[in-house]
Structure 1
Amino acid sequence: MGAMILRRLAVAVFSLIGVVVITFALTRVLPGDTAAYFAGPAASREAIEQLRHSLGLDKPAAEQFADYVAALARGDLGNSLTTGQPVLSDLLSRLPASAELTLLGLLVSLAIAIPFGILAAVKPGSFVDHACRLVTTAGVSLPVFFTGLLLVYVFYFILGWAPAPLGRLDVFLSAPPTVTGFFLIDSALAGDWETFRGALSQLVLPVLTLAIFALAPIARMTRAAMLAVLTSDFVRTARASGLTPWSVLITYAFRNALLPVVTTLGMVFSFLLGANVLVEKVFAWPGIGSYAIEALIASDFAPVQGFVLAMAVMYVLLNLLIDVLQGLIDPRARTAT
């Protein structure tokens, strides 16, 4: 297991180097002039050139890249021209909002998709099986931003059941004392149940949007893996031995079908990181996704580069966690290259 983790980390280092190079190159070829944008429409050419010089944008690209890498080696992601703050502090302050939304979306999708996929596999051709196919097809087909807008239109505009999609809390509530950055956990630790209910109500629609997007591949993979396992010899032997259907289904079948499901979770979580950007814009969520979009519109390079690097680091760590879980579920995976 230790050798496998070291191999994965070695590959991850080269992957992150590639991300740094590609991100730097792409931000430099995007349309828009950073100096002209922040100097303002009334700025003279001399003022724009002076700002470009102060930002170091008049240097050759190779020299700019060398300065960027040297700053990264010191743990400096640069400063955001939009907020005036270091990019690292901006990302750290907004990361809990994105993490709370993404993790809850993944947990809700798991709670729905895994039982749904198991039931569809146990009763193929039944109403549950057809419903599973319908839900997975809809989840894959509907764009995540369209799902979010549709939920807002139905549950906020028409029915009035949901609060206004304007961030993590209602304007009349104050944020709980920061412990973890997760409003649900922090408000519960503080015993502030009014803020807890307010934060939970704001989370319902964006979490449901992400869950609908994520449950389709999880349910489909669970169904396919369970169908393959339920027809295997060891399951038939377990049934012939007189074991209860529940024991056969969970202890034998689902445990052996878990490996491809766990692999799918890594892919789904990476998709959620990308979908989170659109969901945050739809629901005015103050996470790192909306932060990166605002910086991209303003041609503010440092936040965009910091966001992509942060996503790459999380993706690498997630894949490492998936590899460890695979080794725990199936010892044969520990010796895989």
Structure 2
Amino acid sequence: MNFVWKRLLATLPSLAGVVVLTFLLSHALPGDPAAYFAGPAADANSIAEIREKLGLDRPLVEQFFYYVADLLRGNLGKSLTTGQPVLTDLVDRLPASLELSAYALVFAIGCAIPMGVLAAIRLDRPADHACRVIVTVCAAFPTFFIGLLLVYVFYFLLGWAPEPLGRLNEILYTAPPRVTGAYTIDALIAGDGEVFRAALAQLVLPAISLGLFALAPLARITRAAMLESLSSDFVRTAHASGLPTSKVLFTYAFRNSLLPISSVLGMVFSFLLGSNVLIEQVFGWQGVGAYAVSAVLASDYAAVQGFVLMMALLYILLNLLVDVLATLIDPRVRFEG
């Protein structure tokens, strides 16, 4: 476990840099949060009074030290748009984004890894060319365009998908009792199959929209890793020993390709969490992405800072998890830096 502690200590400078940059960038947002909070009919005196109450009249350095002191106490501030503590808002909305990103990652893995393996086995054949075309097309279009296209085709034209109104149609269904915050999991825990199917139906289009963009890097790294394994000496030796082709491919080649694939998964999942901002807007998803957009539009410093810090912490934890998984896949791997 020494390498885990070393990795945690190595992230402290990065985390400190994130705190500083988050504070500076959030204060560079256009607009005046005091004016937004006071309302369009407020006069200059009312705005100045609110600015003093929020501490925005203090020097920037003093505001920063107050901000760090609040962070050390676990206080992320109060959101101007919701009127609730930012930490409460993030905890309430994070499960929705995690659920969407997790389903998108499962979809991407389920499509990308078989495609990458098939492309490597059928190198320079039609299957390989088709895989490269699909990957290029998926990477070429932005996620919000794919989301709008899927809504237009499968909801508006064909009527196969439910209305893109968020996580659940609350007119027809009641949200399951909160346990994890993920509707599909909570519905299964409650034994409510109808709500589970409804929540899953709402997830299909946004998860596919988000997962298609993550499909490209996973398919590419799988193809490259499999090609490297297939050209290695141990695979040629296994073929020469008369082992079945399927055993050589999946027991030797694919197993040795898992390390680079798993190394990319953490980065891809972090990317999905950050990229679901636009998808949440398209599908009315009540996640942290939509919360961050509202905060930016309202110049809500505390909410923007909390969102960025939360994403930075998740990214650090995901990379640490990937490092641990890498050592489980290949015990020879050690991370000393």
TM-score range, shorter chain: over 0.9
Q: How many angstroms does 1:335 deviate by?
A: 5.2
Q: How many angstroms does 1:325 deviate by?
A: 1.3
Judge conservation of contact 2:6–2:336 (CA < 8 Å) in 1: no
Structure 2 counterparts to residues 32-71 of structure 1, below 5 A: 32-71=31-70
Name whichever of 91-100 and 7-16 sits farther off.
7-16
Q: Which amino acid aligns with 1:99?
A: L
1:131 paired residue number: 130
1:114 paired residue number: 113
Q: Which amino acid aligns with 1:40?
A: G
1:76 paired residue number: 75
Q: How many angstroms does 1:336 deviate by?
A: 4.4
2:283 paired residue number: 283
Q: Which amino acid aligns with 1:192?
A: D
Q: How many angstroms does 1:251 deviate by?
A: 0.9
CA distance in 2, matches of 1:88, 1:267: 24
User: Residue 304 of structure 1: SS of its match in structure 2?
Assistant: helix
CA distance in 2, matches of 1:201, 1:45: 50
Q: Which amino acid aligns with 1:238?
A: A
CA distance in 1, matches of 2:331, 2:189: 39
Which segments of 5 or more consecutive residues in structure 2 lack a partner in the other structure?
Answer: none
Aligned length: 336
1:271 paired residue number: 271
Structure 2 vs 1, CA of residues 122 and 79 (structure 1 numbering), >3 Å: closer, same or farther? Answer: same
CA distance in 2, matches of 1:126, 1:189: 47
CA distance in 2, matches of 1:104, 1:258: 20
Q: TM-score scaled by structure 1? A: 0.98
Name whichever of 130-139 and 305-314 sits farther off.
130-139
Structure 2 counterparts to residues 132-281 of structure 1, below 5 A: 132-171=131-170, 172-281=172-281
Which segments of 5 or more consecutive residues in structure 1 lack a partner in the other structure?
Answer: none
The answer to whether residue 14 in structure 2 is matched with residue 9 in structure 1 is no
Q: TM-score scaled by structure 2? A: 0.98
CA distance in 2, matches of 1:314, 1:28: 23
Percent of aligned pairs with the same amino acid: 61
Q: How many angstroms does 1:8 deviate by?
A: 1.0
CA distance in 1, matches of 2:88, 2:29: 25
User: Residue 249 of structure 1: SS of its match in structure 2?
Assistant: helix
CA distance in 2, matches of 1:103, 1:129: 27
Q: How many angstroms does 1:35 deviate by?
A: 0.7
Cα shift readout 1:221-265 (whole Å, capped 9, x = no counterpart): 101110111011110110111211111011100111111111111
User: Residue 162 of structure 1: SS of its match in structure 2?
Assistant: coil
Cα shift readout 1:141-188 (whole Å, capped 9, x = no counterpart): 111111111111111111111111110001321100111111111111
Structure 2 vs 1, CA of residues 335 and 61 (structure 1 numbering), >3 Å: closer, same or farther? Answer: closer
Structure 2 counterparts to residues 298-337 of structure 1, below 5 A: 298-334=298-334, 336-337=336-337
Q: Which amino acid aligns with 2:92?
A: S
CA distance in 1, matches of 2:281, 2:199: 18
Q: How many angstroms does 1:332 deviate by?
A: 2.9
CA distance in 2, matches of 1:305, 1:336: 31
RMSD: 1.0
CA distance in 2, matches of 1:243, 1:32: 68
CA distance in 2, matches of 1:197, 1:324: 34
Judge conservation of contact 2:98–2:273 (CA < 8 Å) in 1: no
Q: Which amino acid aligns with 2:180?
A: T
